[in-house]
Amino acid sequence: MAEPTFKVDLHVHSKYSTRPSQWILQKIGCPESFTEPADLYAIARSRGMDLVTITDHNTIRGSLEIAHLPGTFVSEEITTYFPEDRCKLHVLAWDITEAQHEEIQRVRENVFDLVPYLRGEGVTHALAHPLFAVNDRLTPAHFEQALLLFKTFEENGTRDARQNQVVRDILTRLTPGDIERLANAHGIAPVGDEPWVKAIMGGSDDHSSLNVARMHTVLPGAPSVANVHQGLRAGTCRPAGTPATPRTMAHNLYGIAYNFYRSRMGTMSHAASEHLCFRFAKGALDPGREPDETGLMNRFLRLIGRGKATLHREYGPSETVQDALLKEAADIIAHDPALMDIARGRTRDVLVLEREWSRFVSMAASRVISQFADRTLQSVLGANLFDVFHSIGSAGSLYALLAPYFVGYDLFAGERDFSRRCLERFRGGKRAARTGRDLKIAHFTDTFDEVNGVARTIRQQLQMVARHGKDMTVITCGSAVDVPGAVSFKPVGRFNIPEYPEITLSYPPFLDMLTHCFEQEYDCILAATPGPVGLAALAISKILKLPFHGTYHTAFPEYVAAFTEDAGLVDGCWRYMSWFYNQMQVIYAPSEATRLELAGRGIDPGKIVTYPRGVDTDRFHPGKRNGFYHRYDIQGRTKILYVGRVSVEKGLDVLTEAFLKATRLRDNLHLVVVGDGPYLDEMRRALKNAPATFTGVLAGEPLAQAYASADVFVFPSATDTFGNVVLEAQASGLPVIVSDKGGPRENVLPDETGLVFPAGNADALLRAILHLVDTPERIEYMGRKARNHVERRTFDSTFLKTWEIFGTQVAGRNRAA
């Protein structure tokens, strides 16, 4: 027969707790708890606790209020300090007298005075949340001293599961040698006869009444205070329950704010108290109380961006973000059965409430973010600066709504890092939680399934990641993910870019992405694009305290110049790009020309690293020349090939002009255009009577055969940062003609593997074309040289070099930080 056990939450707070609030609570001016001691007693009992105590910060007032109730005892949480630097610790002390409390307050300023007093008085005590830096001064050395000072440690209900696991890992693996080493290092005599044997208890550390007893302690024997002492001192206690996540902390913060306004406001009308948003907030944030008619609604909804409108106002399309938020919130609740159950008071499970509240906040914020982003982008494209500033200013309401989640993830990320560093000290310096791999990267991109060089490069990298056993996940939004290693989030909105009808900006669900990155514990955030997904990557890196690196693929300001010829927009685009890339610790440029241009545009040159790019030399090979163009009835002509996006910024207007002139001078030429884009129809019309073929988009073997079966490759772009197609053409044995501006120029050996002409000069391009087509032997010679030139630039070799650069930069920047 199993030994009987009982349960008690040994760390919980009532309204008398005096610990300083987190900054988000200070902003709204409320203390940390609103739970009446009697209510706390009832909640704890209802959640299966056999005994009840209250551990308010440096006061026993709450404990005394319920001391007459059965199964209670008086306790407190003591704030104490290391004297040399005022690093703060919290110590739980149970079953104390009023006289002991008074003496504790006298000696608590110095932990080296407090601990001997507690031991001398026989007060059962423990170190609360041992790896939580209460005032940001805790170091691994402080934790080591605590291991010598305390016998019992807490697994805490407001802390991350990883932090609690690290505490357990360290405590259960301590050896006599560890304790001797620490005692010699710090000059502290360890407590207890076997100081390497520690006890672990659990407590909820609840300040909101939402999570009372979520974490608690299970002890052997019948429920009695004497057995509490016995179990804690003998180490026969064990923690139980569910640890926190950042969502738990956010839910608590909302609950505290809710109760603050509920306690401060006056009454309001019955109709107002029946508002759907009010009923939902009450059900999600204060499920243990009966409905009342407080004046909470106005103030609480102001917290989440409500604004100054009255409760029953009708909202029009020109309303502020605050107004839109309330309208969207009510609509979301009304059309979601799970949320309506909460509004009707049918859901009481705190884990379900936490999950559903998080889902509700994410949906409400996402809807308004989509509207806000649409308005901002339309204003930018319309050069309406007043609306831009108005929209950006309104976004502060969204920040207020999401701030509790930002606080939670920021705090937990910092704690995970500190926990890893502490664990490393007990593993001989080996990196914690990273065994068996060297680097884990989250690669964010706004483009994945589009037909462009960025998407193609990222897909190639994923293939190399799988082939070489590396750990990289591509994170995108709204794309069709058809390969392993990529995660696509459902967008909360979309925006179509004028002049790029096939490219859509997708607004990502930010909280979902943030949660994913926190749970996956990436080492580095890498952004491939500066769009909405790239901005999400930036924010996530800041919140999770991760290195933020980026690859510069596309010269967007050059595209803007080509399409609009608006100097103001181009300047604004460069300002944005400079700001975005200057947020990074490292920027990977695909070419020296790109590196110099970025530096010239105000981006810190010390951050820019040039990295190698490769080509699939097996797929693109001269041996695939096979008469591919017979299907297009192109025979007996010198085939000039272009592959890529069919758009003005690629210099195709220059190619069109040069080719038309060439056909008047030579009658054996044929232009082949592979690709699609906004300039396609206009280019077709311009070349209507010329020997030109438009194949559309080709991929795989047909593309490789199209390259190898051509004679000369022309890439007139002056805006490309690299130009993958130039390498592919050379690997296929073609001489290439490129402009003297941009990255493609660096992939060519002038007069050996190809020719270089002045960008935008159609006559110069004409001369280059005629020079090659008039000398077939030169085409053959350059084609062989081109193949030889790129044979060592395989995907595998360049990928491994690139990965090494990634690892070196992440490690180096982490050491510098």
What would the mean pLDDT of 639-660 be, rounded to a whole number?
Answer: 94
- pLDDT(551) > 70: yes
Cα first-last separation, the chain: 56
Residue 760 gets the label, from left (phi > 0), alpha (psi -120 to 50) or beta, of left
Residue ranges of domains in the chain: 5-244, 249-403, 436-610, 622-793
- pLDDT(321) > 70: no
Q: Nearest to residue 727, comparing CAs of 591, 526, 630, 632?
A: 591
Q: Residue 501 — very low, low, confident or very high, per pLDDT cuts 50/70/90?
A: low
Tell me the three state secondary structure of residue 200. strand
Tell me the three state secondary structure of residue 33. coil
pLDDT value of residue 262: 65
Task: Specify the CATH number of the domain 436-610.
Answer: 3.40.50.2000
- In the CATH hierarchy, which top-level class contains the domain 622-793? alpha beta
pLDDT value of residue 299: 42
Nearest 5°: the CA angle 252, 257, 259 is 95
Q: Residue 370 — very low, low, confident or very high, per pLDDT cuts 50/70/90?
A: confident
More confident residue, 692 or 456: 692
Q: Residue 505 — very low, low, confident or very high, per pLDDT cuts 50/70/90?
A: confident
Rounded Cα gap, residues 224 and 515, in angstroms: 41
CB 756 within 8 A of CB 807: no
The region of weakest confidence among 217-221, 263-267, 508-512, 715-719 is 263-267
Q: Nearest to residue 34, comparing CAs of 353, 337, 269, 264?
A: 264
Q: Residue 454 — very low, low, confident or very high, per pLDDT cuts 50/70/90?
A: confident
What would the mean pLDDT of 246-257 be, rounded to a whole number?
Answer: 85
Please name the fold of domain 5-244: TIM Barrel (3.20.20)
Q: Residue 57 — very low, low, confident or very high, per pLDDT cuts 50/70/90?
A: very high
More confident residue, 600 or 99: 99
The per-residue pLDDT of the chain, averaged, comes to 84
pLDDT value of residue 208: 82
Half-sphere exposure of 258 (CA within 13 A, CB side): 25
pLDDT value of residue 307: 35
Q: Residue 310 — very low, low, confident or very high, per pLDDT cuts 50/70/90?
A: very low
CB 439 within 8 A of CB 807: yes
- pLDDT(270) > 70: no
The H-or-E segment that residue 98 falls in is: helix 98-107
The H-or-E segment that residue 218 falls in is: strand 215-220
Rounded Cα gap, residues 710 and 318, in angstroms: 57
Polymer length in residues for the chain = 817
Tell me the three state secondary structure of residue 671. strand
CB 125 within 8 A of CB 118: yes
Q: What is the DSSP string of 566-635?
A: -HHHHHHHHHHHHHHHHT-SEEEESSHHHHHHHHHTT--GGGEEE----B-TTTS-GGG-S-GGGGGT--
13-53 pLDDT, tens digit each: 998 875 444 444 444 444 455 689 999 999 999 999 999 99
Rounded Cα gap, residues 435 and 452, in angstroms: 37
Which residues fall within 8 angstroms of residue 800, CB to CB, at 6 or more apart? 468
Which residues fall within 8 angstroms of residue 359, CB to CB, at 6 or more apart? none
262 vs 322, 448, 467, CA distance in Å? 21, 48, 58
- pLDDT(812) > 70: no
Rounded Cα gap, residues 765 and 651, in angstroms: 11
Judge whether 5-244 and 436-610 match in fold.
Answer: no
Amino acid, res. 228: V
Q: Which long-range contacts (CB under 8 A, 24 or more apart) does 745-752 make?
A: 745/593, 746/591, 746/592, 746/593, 747/722, 747/723, 749/785, 749/789, 752/782, 752/785, 752/789
Amino acid, res. 778: R
Tell me the three state secondary structure of residue 115. helix
Nearest 5°: the CA angle 619, 620, 623 is 95
Percentage of the chain modeled with pLDDT above 70: 82
485 vs 439, 464, 470, 511, 700, CA distance in Å? 15, 11, 11, 21, 20
pLDDT value of residue 558: 59
Rounded Cα gap, residues 573 and 795, in angstroms: 32
Amino acid, res. 109: E
Question: What percent helix, strand, coil does the chain show, rounded to 5?
Answer: 50, 15, 35
**Phi, psi torsion values for 84, nearest 5 degrees:** -70, -30
**In a 10 Å sphere around its CB, with 0-12 CB exposed, 13-18 middle and 19+ buried, how is residue 124 labelled?**
buried
What would the mean pLDDT of 194-211 be, rounded to a whole number?
Answer: 93
What would the mean pLDDT of 119-130 be, rounded to a whole number?
Answer: 97
- pLDDT(586) > 80: yes
- pLDDT(293) > 70: no
415-444 pLDDT, tens digit each: 888 898 898 888 765 444 443 347 899 999
pLDDT value of residue 697: 92
Nearest 5°: the CA angle 303, 318, 359 is 45
The H-or-E segment that residue 80 falls in is: strand 72-82
pLDDT value of residue 717: 92
Structure tokens at 380: 């930018």
Q: Nearest to residue 215, comparing CAs of 129, 290, 119, 126?
A: 129
CB 279 within 8 A of CB 54: no
The dihedral through the CA atoms of 366, 372, 376, 377 has a sign that is: positive
Q: What is the DSSP string of 597-612?
A: HHHHTT--GGGEEE--
Rounded Cα gap, residues 722 and 728, in angstroms: 12
Q: Residue 275 — very low, low, confident or very high, per pLDDT cuts 50/70/90?
A: low
CB 253 within 8 A of CB 25: yes
Percentage of the chain modeled with pLDDT above 90: 52
Rounded Cα gap, residues 563 and 259, in angstroms: 55
What would the mean pLDDT of 63-86 be, rounded to a whole number?
Answer: 97
Which residues fall within 8 angstroms of residue 98, CB to CB, at 6 or more apart? 60, 64, 74
Rounded Cα gap, residues 439 and 811, in angstroms: 10
pLDDT value of residue 761: 96
Rounded Cα gap, residues 667 and 436, in angstroms: 63
CB 638 within 8 A of CB 711: yes
Rounded Cα gap, residues 662 and 668, in angstroms: 10
- pLDDT(813) > 60: no
Tell me the three state secondary structure of residue 51. strand
